[in-house]
Structure 1
Amino acid sequence: MNLVKRIDTVFVPVTDLKKSEAWYMEVFSFEEAVFRSSDGNYVGFRFEGHGEPKTALTLYKADEVPTLKHMAFNFYTEDVDALHTKLKETGVEVTEIHAGDGMRFFEFVDPDGNELGAVTF
């Protein structure tokens, strides 16, 4: 019996919670936050799946955002071209779409410089 079914929540550090909340809501078309901590340091969203497990994304207030040597995670999309176009139209800096090993993917950054990726396969 597998006691762990999936990763539930991904935590992303941000320096300006209100600015980042607005950015993530616009970029990913979240209608509203599903969680707010009582101390005002966390705000959470949930990606709704069609019969699939739902994944949560939580932004948390940090004094500074650590620089990673590699992005922490990818967002999965069924239409990498449409997401790429939407991000560019929203003014998000994106790389070109790359292909390899049966995947198509690109990278982008949030307002704090967190390196993020999008992938389809």
Structure 2
Amino acid sequence: MFRLGSIFIPVTNLDQSIAWYQKTLEAILIDEWDGSEKGASFFFPEGDMQLGLIEVEQAQPTEFKISEIKSNPYYNYIVQDIDRAYHHLLNQGVEVSSLKENKWMSYFDFFDLDGNAFSVVYEKPSSSYHEMQRKQQKRSS
């Protein structure tokens, strides 16, 4: 019945951010609007989720505190080739964290022009979050 449609990201300079998201993340611009708020919508060649940028006066965090020393981004991007994604962002001059790995996934964080934090995740096939495992769960329910 429900399905996620869009995530919205606060940015302080819409025009610069549009160019950055197109170049850096290969997002495809759907539309720009300038009404009660100024923004832009994008989609990605893979996946159904849309991305919205909303221009704000001051930068606002896209992460929440887990503890005094640990934060977690609200959003992540899923990729099939974590090494390729990591080096793509590095080659674009994007600030990235170190590449990490655990039993279920490989991941790293990166930051946009406003310092908004995002995670990039590769789910290993054995992970219950991997696409094939989720398809199996849908068939079982």
TM-score by length of 1: 0.87
In 2: Cα distance, 1:101 partner to 1:61 partner: 38
The residue aligned with 1:66 is 60
Gaps of 5+ in 2: 66-71, 124-141
| Partner Cα separation in structure 2 for residue 86 and residue 103 of structure 1 | 19
> Which residue among 22, 28, 35 is the counterpart of 2:31?
35
Q: Select the structure that is richer in helix.
A: 2
* Larger RCO (CA within 8 A; separation ≥ 6): 1
Q: Identity rate of aligned residues, in percent?
A: 27
Q: Which residues of 2 match residues 1-121 of structure 1 at below 5 A?
A: 3-4=1-2, 6-30=3-27, 32-39=28-35, 41-49=38-46, 53-67=47-61, 68=63, 69=65, 70-121=72-123
Which digits, 9 at most, give the CA deviation of each residue in 1:3-60, with x for residues without a partner?
11x2110100000000111111111123x410211437110110123xxx51101100
Q: Higher strand fraction: Structure 1 or Structure 2?
A: 2
RMSD over aligned Cα atoms: 1.4
Unaligned runs of 5+ in 1: none
Aligned residues between the structures: 114
Partner SS state of residue 33, structure 1: strand
Checking the alignment, whether the CA contact within 8 Å between 2:26 and 2:44 is kept in structure 1 is no
- Aligned to 1:113, the other structure's residue is in SS state coil
